[in-house]
Each structure stands twice: as C-alpha cells, then as structure tokens.
Structure 1
Amino acid sequence: MKLFYKYFLLIFFLPLQFFSQEIDSSKIECKYLITFLIDTANINTQKKENASLLIGTHISLFKSDQKQIADSLTLISVEKSASNPVNGRIEINTSSVPTAKFKPEVLYSGGKVTIYDEISKEHYNFPAPDKIAWKIENDTKII
C-alpha cells in the first residue's frame, strides 16, 4: 500500500513540480479577468475568475490564479501528510483546499500547445487544434 501512495504522489505531483520550475523563470506575467459558463446551456451559471499568462524564455502557461493557489495548497497538504503517516498509512485530505471554477490550462512548450482540462473529475490533455497565425500591425486601440 505504501508503494501505491509513493507512485500516486510521483505521478500526480511530478507535473506540478515541472511546471512550477518553469513558472519561476517566467519573464512576463499578464493578468486576465475571465468570464465563462459552467453550463453552456444555462446563462445563469456565468462565473468570473482571475487568470495569469506566465511567459518564459521557452515555455508559457495560462492558468487560473485560484487553480494555482489550489495546486500549491494541495501539494503542501500532500507533503505534510506524507511526512506524518498515521499508523503507517498516508492519509491525504484535501477537502479544505479551495477549488477553482475555471479548470483549463494551456501550456506552450517546445513549439507545441497542450490544453489540460477536467470534465466530471476526469483529467484530459490534448494538443491545441489549430496554430494561431498572428499578424502584428502598426495599430493602437484604447480599451
């Protein structure tokens, strides 16, 4: 059983460590207020959340600020639980960790864009369908 928990911790939190190392080296941070629907068929489920686009030299990550906080608190909770086993068992309780409403994340790395999302507690990742062809023009706009 201990082996299971070690593999769980490794598989679940290794990507977080990978992203956090790259986020720490970000050069630019752009803040957004995103508005989205929890249920696209119901306009009354509209929510707002702050998000950040962290841009580094070779990698960028777009993620909800609340999800960033939740991920950090979950990691701390797991590390604390792993260092204090109860009767030889690691018990992970993340019920007190606040959750984000906006789950998708977009990672740009190595020329590829990968989207991470959660649907009904199932986690998915897939490549972005189309590459954006940016066209920079000499225009300005006051918003």
Structure 2
Amino acid sequence: MRYIFLLLVTSVNFLYAQEKAIDSLKIQCEYWLNYQNDSTNIYSKDSEEFLLLIGKNKSLFLSTNKYKRDSIKNSYIKEGNSVAILDLSKFPKTAFPYRIVKNYSNNELLFYNDISAKLSVHYVEHPNLTWKISNENDKIANIDCGVAYTNYGGRQYKAWYAKDIPLSEGPYKFSGLPGLIIKIEDTKGFYKFELISFKNLSKRHKTIELENRQINSKNVTKKEYLNAKKITLII
C-alpha cells in the first residue's frame, strides 16, 4: 500500500510540475477588473487583477492570483515536495480560474478551465469580433485613445484603444483593434477592465508557460463546457 501511495503522489507531482513554454514573453500588461456578481443586485460588486502576457505568436490571459498560486505550487513541486501537503489557504484565491490563449497564426482562442481536481478541459473559439470604430477620441492616463464598439455574449462593449501602442490585443477575449485596449466596459456597467501597467520584457528572455494538464486537457465544445460547469455548481 505504501508503494502505491508513493506512486500516486509521484504521478500527481508529475502532472502538476510539468510546464511547457508556448511562446517567448514580449509584453506584460496588468488589468484591473471591476464587476458585478449578480446582474439584479447593484451591491454585489467586486474586483480582481489580471495578467495579459503577450508573445510573438500567442498570448495568455489569466488572473494574477491564479498565476501566483500556480507559480508557488510549481516551485514547491520542483523542489521535490508533494503537492498533496501543499497548503495554499493563506494565499488569495481567484473567482476566475480560467486561462485564455490567443493564437495569432490561425485566429483561434483556446479557453482552459478545470471542471474538477482531476478533469481539465478546453474549448476552441473564433470570436471574430466586429468592431465599429467611432470618430471619438479620449485621453486615459495621458494616453491618446480611439474609441470603438462591439457586441459579444449578448452585451455591447465600449473600448478605448491606444493609438500609439500598435498591439491588436486586450483583456479577456477582446482583440482586433489597431491598438492595445486600455479600457473596455459593457454599456450596463457589469464588467470593466482597465489597464494598470505595461511592461516590455523582450530583453529578459522569459517565456509564456502552460501546465501539461492544460495542454493535454480534454477538448470539448463550448456548450459541453457550460453544461459541465452547471452540473459541478449543483454538486
């Protein structure tokens, strides 16, 4: 029995510890999200910080708390410790455990999430956002911005993009504008992302990484994923 337990621990460690570089890291953006948990309750508001890691061919978007917890966990395992005894209770959790990878070469968006402790899944999406670029101009934190509008997920969004930062990127699933999205919010005020920092890390030779459990996760449809999430919430 002891040998079986050791084998299980080793297998779990192997599953969690293995990371793979999916691209070199060029730009790191930090966004602050203000959101309303319950659309019927204006007092159910909260906030969280996110990272957008931009490479040459791909980008990764995830919660900063998720990134920190994963980094602590993987460092712990690489030192030869067992993930089974790792206590992360003192570290902040995230309300958004997903990871989003945008692949520039084929305009694919891969949405990764864990259905349970043992099951990680992903679905592929092609948002193909249709942007209406307006004649409006604005300035946010001394950044000259253009303004554009789009619809996604049944909501209308207004976005401010930097005219002098020619990166067709943004938080969450948003991209496709002629400049980096500095701020984006839906017209009803349920979600608002705002850029809080921008760093050029191209000279630091860092990489954007995903764990093997995400890379090898089960490919499902978006509908299957949403149905599975409903079931786990009920359970």
Q: TM-score range by the shorter chain?
A: 0.5 to 0.7
Q: 1:13 aligns with which of 4, 10, 17?
A: 17
Q: Tell me: CA distance 1:120–1:91, structure 2 relative to 1, closer, same or farther (3 Å).
A: closer
Partner SS state of residue 94, structure 2: coil
- Structure 2 gaps of 5+ residues are 141-235
* Aligned counterpart, 1:58: 57
> Please, which of 105, 111, 127 is the counterpart of residue 130 of structure 1?
127
Residue 56 of structure 1 deviates from its aligned partner by 0.3
Residues 77-96 of structure 1, C-alpha deviation per residue, up to 9 Å, x if partnerless? 3334x34x7xxxx7443333
Where 1:142 maps in the other structure, the secondary structure is strand
- Considering fraction of residues, name the structure with more strand: 2
Alpha carbons of 1:35 and 1:54: their partners in 2 closer, same or farther (altered >3 Å)? same
Q: 1:124 to 1:22 in 2, by over 3 A?
A: closer
CA RMSD of aligned residues (A): 3.3
TM-score (norm 2): 0.45
Question: In the alignment, what sits opposite 2:155?
Answer: none
Identity of aligned residues (%): 24
Cα distance in structure 2, aligned partners of 1:77 and 1:40: 39
Query: Does 1:116 pair with 2:120?
Result: no
Q: Return the offset for 1:133.
A: 5.0
Contact 1:52 1:64 in 2 (8 A): yes
Letter of the structure 2 residue corresponding to residue 116 of structure 1:
Y
Shifted more, 130-139 versus 29-38: the winner is: 130-139
Cα 1:119/1:4, change in 2 over 3 Å: closer
Q: Provide closer, same or farther for how the CA distance between residues 41 and 2 of structure 1 changes in structure 2, counting only shifts above 3 A.
A: farther
- 1:43 Cα shift? 4.5
CA drift of 1:129 comes to 5.4
Flag the 1:63–1:95 CA change in 2: closer, same or farther, 3 A.
Answer: same
Give the whole-Å Cα distance in 2 for the aligned partners of 1:113 and 1:133: 16
Q: Output the TM-score relative to the length of structure 1.
A: 0.68
The 2-side partners of 1:9 and 1:134 are apart by: 44
Write the deviation string for residues 56-79 of structure 1: whole angstroms up to 9, x where unpaired: 011100111121111111222333
Within-5 A mapping of 1:1-143: 1-14=5-18, 17-18=19-20, 21-22=21-22, 25-38=24-37, 42-80=41-79, 82-83=80-81, 91-109=85-103, 111=106, 112-118=108-114, 123-128=120-125, 130-133=127-130, 140-143=137-140
Kept in 2, the 8 Å contact 1:74–1:97? The answer is no
3-state SS of 1:2 partner: helix
Which 5+ residue runs of structure 1 have no aligned equivalent? Answer: none
Cα offset for 1:137? 8.0
Aligned partner of 1:113: which letter?
Answer: L
> SS of the residue aligned with 1:141?
strand
